[in-house]
Amino acid sequence: MSQTTVSYKDEHIYEFTPDLEPVYTAENGESLTIETIDSLDGTIQENTDILDAIPEEVNAATGPIAIEGAKPGDVLKVTIEDVRVNENRGRVVTAPGFGLLQDHDDIEHPLTRITPVQNDSIEFEGLNVEIKPVIGTIGVAPATESYTTLVPHDHGGNLDTTDMTGGTTAYFPIFQEGAMLAMGDSKAAMSDGEMCGTGSEIGTDIDVTLEVVNDPPVSLERPLVETENEWKTIASAETMETAVELANRDMVELLKREHDFEATEAYMFSSLVGGLEISQVVDPLVTARDAVPKEYLSNPF
Ligand code: CA
């Protein structure tokens, strides 16, 4: 059975706004393939192609895709079946004013390293790195504010979270009719933290199934992911302290409900299992998550 492909060539956005118009409307439960271009729009193809500055438009997100029946207060369930790289090279770059070590004299800005794809790996300076794709930017139309695709927030966006990959189910709060999902900014590989400001940026084909959870029993304020073994809350904020506070607070609410705990007991339990993880430390807001193994938390929806 063939499924519809929505490509960045059809439509893509550089800003998540409250009033997005869909390029495609999916049925509730429909499976789609989403084609994405690399976060730098194909401008970096050789080591001599460098970034003097972060371009005004980055992280082209394919979409927006409306989902029938999605209304504010519902939850969008995105089952990510597979993420495949669709070109023969990725690229890692530094750029002035960007990245964790941007002020260190011995770290060169800008610099580009092309990472050729060889079977299941990319190659960096003679070293092979297994391809583990990551969808860097994925989100829905926000409530009132607009956010460029460089910014992560409660709607998702530039989350740069390694769990956004095949086998994960991602959940987003729905703020607008139709939800208006868009995604792009994939990497062939990326570390937690994304310290230099990029992973191996690359185009991908992403298989997803889109479902609406109508009138969910839990109100979701920020993205949540279900991986093979864990549930993880995801939060973005100006500081890492605030991001981890929000992620932990969201997890406390889930643990309270699951185990009939008081808030303090849920808080204490969150300090016993799973734990905090860094998504990225380089975007305008930083992103963190709080993980709890599935044996202690069931599907809240
Ligand atoms: Ca990104």
The domain in which residue 55 lies consists of 5-219
Let me know if residue 262 belongs to a domain.
Answer: no
CATH assignment at residue 51: 2.60.120.580
Let me know if residue 282 belongs to a domain.
Answer: no
CA atoms within 13 A on the CB side of 119: 3
Let me know if residue 247 belongs to a domain.
Answer: no
263 CA distance to ligand 1 middle (Å): 34
* Residue 29 backbone zone (phi > 0: left; psi -120 to 50: alpha; other: beta): left
Residue 242 has a pLDDT of 98
151 CA distance to ligand 1 middle (Å): 8
Residue 1 has a pLDDT of 58
Let me know if residue 274 belongs to a domain.
Answer: no
166 CA distance to ligand 1 middle (Å): 17
Query: Between vectors from CA 246 to CA 138 and to CA 101, what angle results, nearest 5°?
Result: 70
293 CA distance to ligand 1 middle (Å): 26
Residue 174 has a pLDDT of 98
**What are the DSSP calls for 22-35, one per residue?**
-SEEEPTT-EEEEE
59 CA distance to ligand 1 middle (Å): 7
pLDDT (tens digit, 9 = 90+) per residue, 230-266? 999 999 999 999 999 999 999 999 999 999 999 999 9
Residue 2 has a pLDDT of 82
Let me know if residue 235 belongs to a domain.
Answer: no
Let me know if residue 215 belongs to a domain.
Answer: yes
259 CA distance to ligand 1 middle (Å): 36
Enter the pTM of the model.
0.98
Let me know if residue 270 belongs to a domain.
Answer: no
298 CA distance to ligand 1 middle (Å): 30
**Residues of the chain with confidence (pLDDT) below 50:** none
161 CA distance to ligand 1 middle (Å): 9
Nearest alpha-carbon partner for 285 in 247, 232, 231: 247
95 CA distance to ligand 1 middle (Å): 14
288 CA distance to ligand 1 middle (Å): 14
Residue 206 has a pLDDT of 98
214 CA distance to ligand 1 middle (Å): 30
pLDDT (tens digit, 9 = 90+) per residue, 107-149? 999 999 999 999 999 999 999 999 999 999 999 999 999 999 9
126 CA distance to ligand 1 middle (Å): 25
12 CA distance to ligand 1 middle (Å): 15
H helix count then E strand count, the chain: 2, 22
Residue 73 has a pLDDT of 98
CA distances, 192 to each of 4, 54, 269 (Å): 32, 21, 24
Residue 157 has a pLDDT of 98
Reported as type and span, the H/E element at residue 246 is helix 240-259
Based on the structure, what is the number of domains in the chain?
1
Let me know if residue 295 belongs to a domain.
Answer: no
137 CA distance to ligand 1 middle (Å): 6
136 CA distance to ligand 1 middle (Å): 5
